[in-house]
Structure 1
Amino acid sequence: MSSTIKNINPMTKSHPHMLSSPTETASFCETMRASTKHQFCSSILCLTLLTFFPLATSKDTLSSAQSLQNNQTLVSSGGVFELGLFKPGATSGWYLGIWYKNIQEKTVVWVANRDKPISNSSSATLKIGDHGNLVLLDGENGTWSSNETQARNPIVQLLDSGNLVLRDGNLNRNGPKDQFLWQSFDYPTDTLLPDMKLGWNLSSNLDRYITSWKSTEDPSTGDISFKLDYRGFPEIFLRKNQNITYRSGPWNGERFSGVPEMTPSDGIQFNFVANSEEVYYSFSVRSNSESFYSRLIVNPNGELQRLTWIESRNIWNKFWYAPKDQCDDYSECGPYGICDSNASPVCKCLKGFEPKNLQTWDLRDGSDGCVRKTRLECSKDKFLALGNMKLAESGGAFVDMNMSLEACKKKCLENCSCTAYSDARISVGEGSGCVMWTGDLLDMRQYAEGGQHFYVRLAASELGTFCYKTREKMERIEIERKLIWEIGESLLLSLLCIISHTFLSSYITIIRMWAPHPIIHSIIYNTPPWRPQMIWNMSR
């Protein structure tokens, strides 16, 4: 390899006879060997140099014979990311981190020793330990380390993805990811990068989630986390300590049901995987631009942000964020309450329900939610179809990805504890899969556009003829409503035209009748009505 570790050998700058590359080393050795007078000395010197210069054979990797000191860095092969020590803001400690190499304002995406800073950078050393793991030392004391491995030839490498990996040097450098002995992508801090997984490896019980910095200048573990819950119908929760502040809604095949604006763009592709081995969310960058950077972060203020780099302006643009309004706050309207940010007040009860605490409800505090007006009768019950919905919290939901929506409805009706159902995927034809809820329905929201259909169980007497049994009927009603509205608009416009024409015709008729009158004449022709009389008086 021809590249070198940045600043790996400060001696080369101060000593005029130190060689700066392996090529120069080999050339020097050949010259020395050509002189029989110094043959023995040259052999010893060449052996010494060739033993020393493996330290400078690669700038993106570190072998077991190498170490990284305080003023040295690793740079990924494409120059995208850099790893080294940094000191944020006014803090006194030093941290091992990864940041974007070509962005002037240092943007850190990963921190190794976030809760145990090094007091003096000159005593810091990064190396591969005796147990095949990556070790960060503060003098002689260990500050941070990765998992131990059994690799005979472990190598550390910083990839252009921002992933710091520990791999077996005897295997292919560009081998599959499952050959990594350890990777920083499995232990994120506050940032989710492209192709990084947020979620669970069920085989190893590894939970990958992001946690905020304590403050903008303190990278230690903060109070805000964004973490996937794989129980029931998986979804992701934003928490402050242990309290839920925001919920993404479950993945419906196209997006999270609580993020209707989450549509694939020209540059970003969203992915969700759920199988017996792992459950995770990730995103990929599809842009051809090498400087198109996107990242998802949680900040110390409790906000989840998607940021994209605008190179022409040298800024991180806030592409999306949450929570963004009152209805994004978790369970704003309580059990069986629906939040609508376009309404005032934002909370309303489902049809067939009424506020549990009318006094607080009237004060616009909907956290107590709603209760049923009429008891259910199991097999006689009906379902209320709601559109553009963020599905209720689904951690305890029953999920069958192979069941049809009609079979799902039947199964829910047969289970007297079932309170609602929906399709699991909206991206396959007209929907497929089955999700059933058996407890209180929490954190529901209705959008002007987006979301999905949601079917809530009600007593038949509460529905009357309002019940739409199928999605097709519901969509037909929506089409009929739009058609009626369009016809109404056309009739109203026609009526206005007729009224306007009638009024204008009457106005013209009146003008013509009264035109000889001096006042009307003056209005029409903009002349003083009494001017002729005034002239006549002056002439007398």
Structure 2
Amino acid sequence: MRSSPNYHHPYTFVFVVILFPALAVSYKTLSATESLTISSNETIVSHNETFELGFFTPGSSSRWYLGIWYKKIPTRTYVWVANRDNPLSHPNGSLKISSDNNLVIYDHSSNTPVWSTNLTVGTLRSPLVAELLDNGNFVLRHSNNNEYLWQSFDFPTDTLLPDMKLGWDKKTGLDRVLRSWRGVEDPSSGDFSTKLETRGFPEYYVFNKERIIYRSGPWIGNRFSCIPEMKPVDYMVYTFIASNEEVTYSYQDVYSVLSVSYMGTLQRRNWIESAQIWKQLWYQPKDICDNYKQCGSYGYGDSNTIPSCNCIKGFEGRNEQEWALRDDSAGCVRKTKLSCDGRDGFVVVKKMKLPDTTATVLDRGIGLKECEAKCLNDCNCTAYANTDIRDGGSGCVIWKGGLFDIRSYANGGQDLYVKLAATDLDHVRITSHGTIIGSGIGVTIFLLISIIILFGYWKRKQKSDITIQTPRVDQVRSQDLLIDEVLLTSERYISRENKTDDLELPLMEFEALAMATNRFSDANMLGQGGFGIVYKGMLPDGKEIAVKRLSKMSLQGTDEFKNEVRLIARLQHINLVRLLGCCVDKGEKMLIYEYLENLSLDSHLFDKIRRSNLSWQKRFDITNGIARGLLYLHQDSRFRIIHRDLKASNVLLDKNMTPKISDFGMARIFGRDETEANTRKVVGTYGYMAPEYAMDGIFSMKSDVFSFGVLLLEIITGKRSKGFYNSNPKNNLYSILFHSTLSVITLKERFHIFCGQVWRYWKEGKGIEIVDPIIMDSSSSALRTHEILRCIQIGLLCVQERAEDRPVMSTVMVMLGSETTAIPQPKRPGFCVGRSLLETESSSSTQHDDDLTVNQITLSVIDAR
């Protein structure tokens, strides 16, 4: 039916707007006679429709804010919030230009302003208009020219947009700072902020309240020195201005954002149109070496060394005992004082993040040679470097006093020249020369040993082809003696897998640990696991430690002990437990860790009293910390590590409830080009095991993701997954099924209760009913229902039956950290045993359900009498 011309009446449009407010007109500008109201659902859109401004409520919140977001990106991404600390508690507010020429948000319930631009402009000849520009800048200007009286770019929230400047402007007197949201659904000002320091050699810092937690390193011509990933490309142009008028940083690329998250992470993300996702290009801080002043004065961090903190050549640890126990925050001191008589010289430290630059002297007009002479003639000068690395380097920056917050990079950084006394400088030269000679001798010896080993292997092989040898007692070396020899000498050795490992780990005497733990008294016992007992100890200097002592009756042995020493000693991350040392003495094997005051996650999560202290915010923060630690293992560490036994009892909590993944006895190293591996020794906890690992011994990053998913669902529900522990290579799932005969438990009862129940409730739209009632009782958690349901969905994605359907940890981090990222619907979960072990085709062997299939078989487990 065609529309008649008689229907073209103004009342028709009014009728449509009333019935369908979503179709309300979007303004290009807002004049002094107009207002933007919440009830009308109107918005202001930039000319090219890139950005949109309007009122919004984040997630399930009932608070209203005025904000800006990308219009064309389907996942809502907020880039600016006006009244972040003064929200409207009900949808009865508006934005308009007031009679005193200010943009004002009014609360009509109380007829009071909740936010204003606070300008004092006096009488104007022309009316004002508010406009949202194509770069996301919301401006208040004259209607007849483009002179801005106020702009949102001068008052950023948590996001730096293209063309927006971070830093100080002399003309306006503004020092623009980014400040995080309080939470995923709370845009109010959080604890973390990013500020460009304008003193000395400018760089930006990330603060937790007033405490510095990270710094970028200074601008060195084309990037900040400690962000090697920040490389200029065709689509990204960086601008850094350091003058008497301003010290600012900006960039150009409309679909790229720099933001500080509510967890304190500074990150750069680009919108990928083809994949419809925000891709994280880089983030900081990334590992323990990024922590501010982690290694103290004259110490530098290197994630590829053990320990991660090192002294610059010519320096030594200020406190050798603390340094040996990885408490290296005291830093390093000179071996020899500077003479300041012209005999001092410099050692070059390559690929470095330059030291803290707040107290430096700059001279951009001279080169490196002049800079060296200037530093040499200044008794207070301790180091120098170029200010610009482009075109071979130029400019001069000089440090006076201690050198703090340095780290090295495999790729990136720049040369730093540190002043040394003549005697130490001569020693460095001799050592370097000796290293070259020693390396040549070492290679020759290694080749000779390899030839001897290969010849011996060939002779043994020939002999074994003729007859089967029965080994004599003296031919079989004790594993205990082997590990003793390896650890006590701390030298390179050839393991049974014919791999070399360097065990550079502080060794502690048995007697010292016995005294520290009060002779391993029961009163000092912190917990017990498959490895043995963990004791709390205290060293003579008052430092608290945790000592894990291998039980003689433990099914875990030297392989697991060596594995943990090899792996965890090489890993440095805020969400991984720190290994301080080890002890091997007359059959005793012990590992010494940092002491974590709040013990393990399961001691809180499944305890009726302690669990009440785990609010949803704490649980969410713990989840994010575990995810960051697992991402580091999978992607950002020196090695790609598969943990294989991630569970609540293997997550420890420090005094601030920061989670730290522990127990690497079952972990395995992956090559960068490896995607999965197979083992005949299925170890770990079956309640957390991926189906492909429990059934076929296939493990990969996705099997760790499955374990994380189970753990996440436990954190949300407060219920155990009720898994089974097994560390005996003979006791894989098949032998348990067919050889154990004591307590009999059906798989349907075991696994259907947890994963199946969560899945069923989710499919029925009742996911909130399986959430731990303790966290739902608080008003703050009730307001974050959407976030909780989102986490249940993420957990179910991680425990999907097929490994290829599960996300990788980098994707999990994006889903956890962004309220606006679209999350796919999960498929049915795996139940650790997802298909028939008996390979039967009998229809009676399985029970069919709309949502899942669980085989009707029994799993027998040996219970101790």
So what's the TM-score if we normalise by structure 1? 0.74
Alignment partner for residue 149 of structure 2, among 157, 165, 181? 181
Q: Over residues 336-368 of structure 1, what are the superposed CA-to-partner deviations in whole Å (9 max), with x where a residue is unaligned?
A: 101111111111111221111222211112111
Report the counterpart of residue 21 of structure 1 in structure 2.
Answer: none
Report the counterpart of residue 173 of structure 2 in structure 1.
Answer: 205
Give yes or no for the alignment of 1:376 onto 2:344.
no
What is the alpha-carbon distance in structure 2 between the residues aligned to residue 449 and residue 16 of structure 1? 61
Report the counterpart of residue 175 of structure 1 in structure 2.
Answer: none
Alignment partner for residue 359 of structure 1, among 321, 327, 342? 321
Q: Conserved in 2, the CA contact under 8 Å of 1:401 and 1:432?
A: yes
What is the alpha-carbon distance in structure 1 between the residues aligned to residue 236 and residue 309 of structure 2? 34
Displacement of 1:301 in angstroms is 0.9
Alignment partner for residue 418 of structure 1, among 369, 381, 388? 381
Report the counterpart of residue 238 of structure 1 in structure 2.
Answer: 206
Displacement of 1:224 in angstroms is 0.5
Give yes or no for the alignment of 1:161 onto 2:135.
yes
Q: Conserved in 1, the CA contact under 8 Å of 2:200 and 2:361?
A: yes
Q: Conserved in 2, the CA contact under 8 Å of 1:60 and 1:159?
A: no
Instruction: State the one-letter code of the partner of 1:93.
Output: R
Which secondary structure state, in structure 2, belongs to the residue aligned with residue 327 of structure 1? helix
Instruction: State the one-letter code of the partner of 2:50.
Output: V
Displacement of 1:416 in angstroms is 0.7
Give yes or no for the alignment of 1:108 onto 2:78.
yes
What is the alpha-carbon distance in structure 2 between the residues aligned to residue 435 and residue 415 of structure 1? 13
Give yes or no for the alignment of 1:433 onto 2:404.
no
What is the alpha-carbon distance in structure 2 between the residues aligned to residue 17 and residue 425 of structure 1? 59
Q: Conserved in 2, the CA contact under 8 Å of 1:400 and 1:433?
A: yes
Q: Over residues 433-469 of structure 1, what are the superposed CA-to-partner deviations in whole Å (9 max), with x where a residue is unaligned?
A: 110111210001111221111011111111117469x
Displacement of 1:258 in angstroms is 0.9
What is the alpha-carbon distance in structure 1 between the residues aligned to residue 248 and residue 339 of structure 2? 39
Alignment partner for residue 279 of structure 2, among 293, 314, 317? 317
Displacement of 1:270 in angstroms is 2.0
Report the counterpart of residue 141 of structure 1 in structure 2.
Answer: 112
Change in CA separation of 1:335 and 1:498 when aligned onto 2, cut-off 3 Å:
closer
Which secondary structure state, in structure 2, belongs to the residue aligned with residue 420 of structure 1? strand
Displacement of 1:409 in angstroms is 1.3
Displacement of 1:183 in angstroms is 0.8
What is the alpha-carbon distance in structure 1 between the residues aligned to residue 369 and residue 252 of structure 2? 35
Q: Over residues 9-52 of structure 1, what are the superposed CA-to-partner deviations in whole Å (9 max), with x where a residue is unaligned?
A: x976445999xxxxxxxxxxxxxxxxxxxxxxxxxxxxxxxxxx
Give yes or no for the alignment of 1:403 onto 2:366.
yes
Q: Conserved in 1, the CA contact under 8 Å of 2:27 and 2:42?
A: no
Change in CA separation of 1:96 and 1:12 when aligned onto 2, cut-off 3 Å:
farther
Displacement of 1:98 in angstroms is 0.4
Change in CA separation of 1:358 and 1:210 when aligned onto 2, cut-off 3 Å:
same
Change in CA separation of 1:359 and 1:15 when aligned onto 2, cut-off 3 Å:
same
Count of paired positions: 439
Give yes or no for the alignment of 1:254 onto 2:216.
no
Q: Over residues 62-115 of structure 1, what are the superposed CA-to-partner deviations in whole Å (9 max), with x where a residue is unaligned?
A: 111211111211011111111010011232210000011122222111000000
Instruction: State the one-letter code of the partner of 2:96.
Output: K
Give yes or no for the alignment of 1:93 onto 2:45.
no
Report the counterpart of residue 129 of structure 1 in structure 2.
Answer: 98
Report the counterpart of residue 79 of structure 1 in structure 2.
Answer: 49
Q: CA RMSD in A?
A: 3.3
Report the counterpart of residue 425 of structure 2 in structure 1.
Answer: 463
Which secondary structure state, in structure 2, belongs to the residue aligned with residue 419 of structure 1? strand
Give yes or no for the alignment of 1:170 onto 2:144.
yes
Displacement of 1:282 in angstroms is 1.2
What is the alpha-carbon distance in structure 2 between the residues aligned to residue 217 and residue 321 of structure 1? 21
Instruction: State the one-letter code of the partner of 2:364.
Output: M
What is the alpha-carbon distance in structure 2 between the residues aligned to residue 130 and residue 386 of structure 1? 62
Report the counterpart of residue 161 of structure 2 in structure 1.
Answer: 193
Report the counterpart of residue 192 of structure 2 in structure 1.
Answer: 224
What is the alpha-carbon distance in structure 2 between the residues aligned to residue 430 and residue 268 of structure 1? 23
What is the alpha-carbon distance in structure 2 between the residues aligned to residue 202 and residue 277 of structure 1? 5
Q: Conserved in 1, the CA contact under 8 Å of 2:49 and 2:134?
A: yes
Change in CA separation of 1:365 and 1:114 when aligned onto 2, cut-off 3 Å:
same
Identify unmatched segments of 5+ residues in structure 1. 1-9, 19-54, 173-178, 286-291, 469-473, 512-518, 521-540
Which secondary structure state, in structure 2, belongs to the residue aligned with residue 421 of structure 1? strand
Q: Conserved in 2, the CA contact under 8 Å of 1:383 and 1:467?
A: no
Displacement of 1:204 in angstroms is 2.5
Which secondary structure state, in structure 2, belongs to the residue aligned with residue 251 of structure 1? coil
Q: Conserved in 1, the CA contact under 8 Å of 2:64 and 2:87?
A: yes
What is the alpha-carbon distance in structure 2 between the residues aligned to residue 434 and residue 319 of structure 1? 31
Q: Conserved in 2, the CA contact under 8 Å of 1:99 and 1:110?
A: yes
What is the alpha-carbon distance in structure 2 between the residues aligned to residue 283 and residue 401 of structure 1? 23
What is the alpha-carbon distance in structure 2 between the residues aligned to residue 293 and residue 11 of structure 1? 40
Give yes or no for the alignment of 1:394 onto 2:352.
no
Change in CA separation of 1:465 and 1:351 when aligned onto 2, cut-off 3 Å:
closer
Q: Conserved in 2, the CA contact under 8 Å of 1:73 and 1:82?
A: yes
What is the alpha-carbon distance in structure 2 between the residues aligned to residue 357 and residue 334 of structure 1? 12
Q: Conserved in 1, the CA contact under 8 Å of 2:295 and 2:310?
A: yes
Instruction: State the one-letter code of the partner of 2:356.
Output: E
What is the alpha-carbon distance in structure 1 between the residues aligned to residue 27 and residue 94 of structure 2? 16
Q: Conserved in 2, the CA contact under 8 Å of 1:85 and 1:121?
A: no
Report the counterpart of residue 348 of structure 1 in structure 2.
Answer: 310
User: Greater CA radius of gyration, 1 or 2?
Assistant: 1
Q: Conserved in 2, the CA contact under 8 Å of 1:95 and 1:118?
A: yes
Report the counterpart of residue 336 of structure 1 in structure 2.
Answer: 298
Displacement of 1:397 in angstroms is 0.5
Which secondary structure state, in structure 1, belongs to the residue aligned with residue 370 of structure 2? helix
What is the alpha-carbon distance in structure 1 between the residues aligned to residue 17 and residue 286 of structure 2? 62
Residues 251-290 of structure 1: pairs in structure 2 closer than 5 A = 251-285=219-253
Displacement of 1:498 in angstroms is 11
Identify unmatched segments of 5+ residues in structure 2. 1-9, 19-23, 467-865
Displacement of 1:492 in angstroms is 11
So what's the TM-score if we normalise by structure 2? 0.47
Q: Conserved in 1, the CA contact under 8 Å of 2:313 and 2:428?
A: no
Q: Conserved in 2, the CA contact under 8 Å of 1:213 and 1:299?
A: yes
What is the alpha-carbon distance in structure 2 between the residues aligned to residue 89 and residue 15 of structure 1? 30
Report the counterpart of residue 61 of structure 1 in structure 2.
Answer: 29
Which secondary structure state, in structure 1, belongs to the residue aligned with residue 232 of structure 2? coil
Report the counterpart of residue 622 of structure 2 in structure 1.
Answer: none
Change in CA separation of 1:376 and 1:209 when aligned onto 2, cut-off 3 Å:
same
Displacement of 1:269 in angstroms is 2.0
Displacement of 1:391 in angstroms is 0.4
Q: Conserved in 2, the CA contact under 8 Å of 1:199 and 1:280?
A: yes
Which deviates more from structure 2 when the two are superposed, residues 100-109 or residues 451-460?
Answer: 100-109
What is the alpha-carbon distance in structure 2 between the residues aligned to residue 11 and residue 341 of structure 1? 70
Which secondary structure state, in structure 1, belongs to the residue aligned with residue 388 of structure 2? coil
What is the alpha-carbon distance in structure 1 between the residues aligned to residue 429 and residue 120 of structure 2? 61
Q: Conserved in 1, the CA contact under 8 Å of 2:298 and 2:402?
A: yes
What is the alpha-carbon distance in structure 2 between the residues aligned to residue 16 and residue 184 of structure 1? 33
Q: Conserved in 2, the CA contact under 8 Å of 1:136 and 1:142?
A: yes
